[in-house]
Copies of this chain bind each other. A is one copy, B any other.
Amino acid sequence: MPADKIQLPERMFHPKSIAVVGASSSAAETGWVKRLLDFGYKGEIYPINPKVKEIQGLRAYANICDAPDPIDYAILNVPARSTPQALRDCVAKRVKFVHCYTAGFSEDGNDEGKRLESEMTKMITGSRTRLLGPNCMGIYCPESGMTFSEDFPKAEGRIAVVSQSGAEASRLVLLCQDVNLYCSKVISYGNAADLDAPDFLEYLAQDTKTDIIAIYVEGVKDGPAFMSAVRKCRAKKPVVILGAGTTENGARAALSHTASVTWSQENWKAFFKQTGAIPALTTDETADIIQALTRIRKMSGQRVAIVGRGGGIGVVATDICERAGLKVPPFSKETQAKLGKIRPDAGAGLRNPVEPKLGMEGATEFYLRGLPIIDADTETDIILIQMAVDIYGGHGADLRQIMSESAYALCAAADSIKKPLAAAMFTGGRPETVLAAAAARDILTKAGIAVFTGVESAARAISRIPIAKP
């Protein structure tokens, strides 16, 4: 791979200077300039706006060519019809990366939009300027202080997201934040008129700050390049892909969204088989798989031990796991006998699933005394704690404290458990329970325990984790 292929994106995520072409002069709205300042971008910012002298305390320039210094990264925030001239100026200024935020190009499906996009592509051909977009949100990189949403966390993490959709990328960032997982680099790349998924993936494959790569893609323009790039990533780290637009009208919607020609389910199936990438059907599932890959220790098999209160809930949880391709076999006789000693009144609820005593206190006690027994069971490979806090969480003023104490007990117990372990916490919608559960989830996920919103999402994610070779 040519050196510049690797170096270029590095500068894209860490530009020394950013120009905002069409910077908003309104004090009321949060424009690109204010967002970068607020988020802590440390490089130089050059607002470009011919109508004002100053934006957010920074000197504004009438044209990007008037900026006194070299520009690494320019954001085009001008109407679609004005973008060719703005891009022409960027090329003249030798801007390294132009992020065209503006929409209204090939995705509109009309001749004018296609013509404009094609004009832009021709304009950069042979130049030193690369184009990101059009019709995209650009870069989020907490390390360098770049963001496209003021809602994103400033914390740095080790997940990279390569997404044609800005909205799905945003949802993924926030869903990860909910469980204390953070990103290294996020790229929303829209129509991919120039820079495309393979360009980013070639870089992320060798990015030492990225452990997992999640991709949301509607159209693959260059199949072999995409496959080659995903394979390079896969050689070093897991890759999760949401291939959108696989149904008849999903494909039509994708054409309207990013002018993408999508792959069929069959195409994707073959692709996943050949690359070892992990498929996801929704962004929520992508977040679940990321959490499973990050926090669930290597599994030696797919036999699940289910721990949690509720006989019928246990039966349904077992069905859900088995439908997801996992197994929920009975514990060994030895394990059942040991469990019977600490729960002599449990009756049948000792065989897997196993039921702790009632309430969060019962759960807490079982984490400390029961989990070590299940850890030694020979018939199961992974422990799934199901917490129906909607009916067993308790209530009243001390709800939050009781649930938090139970979470700390599980953290303590998990420390000495060798088997991989995960939790499914379902809350229902009662605000009091939701808030107490959020506090408990925070404790658990900060301690590195995967917490899912239900058995269904947990089982789907667990079923996607590769099995460790003995």
Contacts and interface: CB of A to CB of B under 8 A. Distances in A.
Interface of A: 103-104, 107-109, 113, 149, 151, 163-171, 174-175, 178-179, 216, 218, 242, 244-250, 252-254, 256-258, 281-284, 309-316, 318-320, 322-323, 327-330, 345, 347-349, 351-353, 388, 390-391, 395, 426, 428-431, 434-435, 438, 441, 454, 456
Contact of A428 (B107, B171, B246): B171
A104 B348 CA distance: 8
A316 B244 contact: yes
B388 A167 contact: yes
A246 to B, nearest CB: 6
B244 A178 contact: no
Contacts of A247: 318-319, 322-323
A428 B316 CA distance: 25
B348 A315 contact: no
Given A165-B312, A167-B312, A391-B170, A107 B348 contact: yes
A178 to B, nearest CB: 3
Contact of A319 (B109, B149, B250, B388): B250
Contact of A165 (B164, B165, B311): B311
B316 A347 contact: no
Given A250-B318, A429-B438, A257 B109 contact: no
B428 A174 contact: yes
B431 A438 contact: yes
Contacts of A107: 347-348
Contacts of A248: 322
B170 A253 contact: no
Residue among A108, A250, A283 with most chain B CB within 10 A? A250
Given A178-B430, A284-B454, A103 B347 contact: yes
B349 A256 contact: yes
A446 to B, nearest CB: 14
A438 B429 CA distance: 7
Contacts of A253: 314-315, 318, 328, 351-353
Given A254-B315, A281-B320, 14 more contacts: A168-B310, A168-B313, A171-B388, A171-B428, A174-B390, A174-B391, A175-B429, A216-B312, A244-B316, A247-B319, A249-B327, A253-B315, A257-B315, A284-B426
Nearest to A246: B319
A260 to B, nearest CB: 9
Residue among A347, A349, A426 with most chain B CB within 10 A? A347
Contact of A249 (B151, B169, B328, B429): B328
A250 B323 CA distance: 10
Contact of A167 (B311, B320, B345): B311
A347 B391 CA distance: 47
Given A171-B428, A395-B151, A431-B438, A108 B313 contact: no
